[in-house]
């Protein structure tokens, strides 16, 4: 075994060995998605939400070139508090490891690493996707192609509403990524309960999601991911009028400052936080805590033997 292997935290390793439920968590939300000092507090709350629902949290990240599945609290604190933490997609993992970098994993990287470690369920806030004006820029998140080849269930509040939601759903269909709504036939838009698009399938319980995963495995035909779209209740979403106004202003600022690529999402999330006077941050936290809880309940259902 080389020094570049994936390292499992002791609690995660024990749980996987014993067949107990484990939920993967990303670290980009810690280093890039939430402002300090809220980021570390929320990261700990996310892990606790997974524990409270009966599963073991496995936050994925890189510390000094070591790719970890199951960061301990000191490592989590490091990624939350030090400057210069890299944002790592799948293609960045090897160079970051070779250069001894600190890195936070995106949805794409977390999905790929978690699946490689034997974890089948992952909770995040919102999925990446096709950016606005992608027809000119070709800017599309690596989340989509990674999920096309990674057998993991991703519990999320749909696609971040700062993206082109319709185009993202079209790409997911083309790539063969399964999408089910959790107790809904409408696709959520992260801050918004309803992004304005219908879904073909919905599931009503964690057990039913576990059955979808079991059927996929038993069939041996579909080897890609499953997006479990878990919308916020309407009374917990960001005010739609405030959302639309803030998004319009943020997109104008992006164009004015020439921001592209990996910097787009952190910039817009920061803009939302400032322009909504913290309301978007509160919604963001509610989203990830709800998704962590649901993901854990799905993992528990998937790990629980049931009679036919």
Could you read off the pLDDT of 148-206 as tens digits, one per residue? 999 999 999 999 888 899 999 999 999 999 999 999 999 999 999 999 999 999 999 99
Is position 143 annotated in a ligand binding site?
A: yes
> Out of 3, 11, 45, 160, which one is annotated catalytic?
160
Residue predicted with more confidence, 141 or 147: 147
pLDDT at 133 over 90: no
Residue 50 predicted with pLDDT over 80: yes
Contact 16, 50 (CB under 8 A): no
The structure tokens listed for 78 are: 């490091």
What's the pLDDT at 111?
Answer: 98
Q: Rg of the chain over CA atoms, in angstroms? A: 18
Q: Does domain 7-129+141-235+288-303 have CATH number 3.40.50.2000?
A: no
- For residue 261, with 0-12 CB atoms within 10 Å meaning exposed, 13-18 middle and 19 or more buried, which class applies? exposed
**Three-state SS for 205?**
coil
Confidence of residue 1 (pLDDT cuts 50, 70, 90): very low
3-state secondary structure 117-177: HCCCEEECCCECCECCCHHHHCCECHHHHHHHCCCCEEEECEECCCCCHHHHHHHHHHHCC
Catalytic-role residue among 11, 26, 170, 204:
26
The pLDDT score that the predictor gives to residue 2 is 60
Residue 308 has a pLDDT of: 59
Per the annotation, does 141 bind a ligand? yes
Q: pTM of the full predicted structure?
A: 0.94
212 labeled binding residue = no
Check residues 180 and 133 and name the one with the higher pLDDT: 180
CA 62, 67, 69, 75 dihedral sign is negative
pLDDT of 262: 66
pLDDT at 228 over 50: yes
Q: State residue 32's pLDDT score.
A: 87
Banded model confidence at residue 269, pLDDT cuts 50, 70, 90: confident
Question: What is residue 135's predicted lDDT score, i.e. its pLDDT?
Answer: 65
Per the annotation, the verdict on 160 as an active-site residue is: yes
Task: Tell me whether residue 139 is annotated as binding.
Answer: yes
Q: Where are the domains of the chain?
A: 7-129+141-235+288-303
Using CA of residue 259, residue 265, residue 268, residue 273, what is the dihedral sign? negative
- CA dist., res. 248 & res. 233, Å (int): 24
Q: Is 262 a catalytic residue?
A: no
């Amino acid at each position: 075994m080389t020094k570049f292997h994936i390292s499992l935290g002791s609690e995660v390793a024990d749980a996987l060995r014993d067949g107990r439920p484990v939920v993967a968590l990303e670290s980009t939300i810690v280093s890039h998605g939430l402002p300090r000092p809220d980021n570390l507090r929320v990261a700990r709350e996310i892990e606790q939400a997974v524990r409270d629902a009966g599963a073991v949290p496995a936050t994925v990240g890189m510390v000094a070139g070591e790719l970890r599945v199951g960061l301990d609290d000191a490592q989590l604190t490091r990624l939350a508090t030090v400057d210069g933490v890299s944002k790592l997609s799948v293609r960045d993992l090897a160079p970051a490891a070779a250069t001894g970098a600190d890195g936070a994993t995106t949805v794409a990287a977390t999905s790929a690493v978690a699946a490689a470690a034997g974890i089948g369920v992952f909770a995040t806030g919102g999925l990446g996707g096709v950016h606005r004006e992608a027809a000119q820029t070709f800017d599309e998140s690596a989340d989509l192609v990674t999920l096309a080849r990674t057998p993991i269930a991703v519990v999320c509040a749909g696609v971040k509403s700062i993206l082109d939601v319709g185009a993202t759903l079209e790409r997911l269909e083309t790539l063969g990524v399964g999408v089910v709504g959790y107790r809904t036939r409408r696709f959520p838009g992260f801050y918004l309960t309803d992004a304005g698009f219908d879904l073909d399938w919905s599931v009503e319980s964690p057990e039913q999601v576990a059955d979808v995963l079991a059927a996929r495995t038993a069939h041996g035909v579909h080897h890609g991911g499953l997006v479990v779209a878990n919308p916020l209740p309407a009374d917990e979403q960001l005010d739609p009028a405030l959302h639309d106004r803030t998004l319009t202003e943020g997109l104008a600022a992006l164009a004015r400052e020439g921001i592209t690529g990996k910097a787009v999402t952190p910039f817009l999330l920061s803009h939302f936080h400032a322009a909504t006077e913290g309301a978007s941050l509160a919604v963001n936290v509610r989203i990830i805590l709800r998704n962590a809880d649901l993901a854990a309940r799905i993992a528990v259902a998937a790990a629980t033997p049931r009679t036919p």
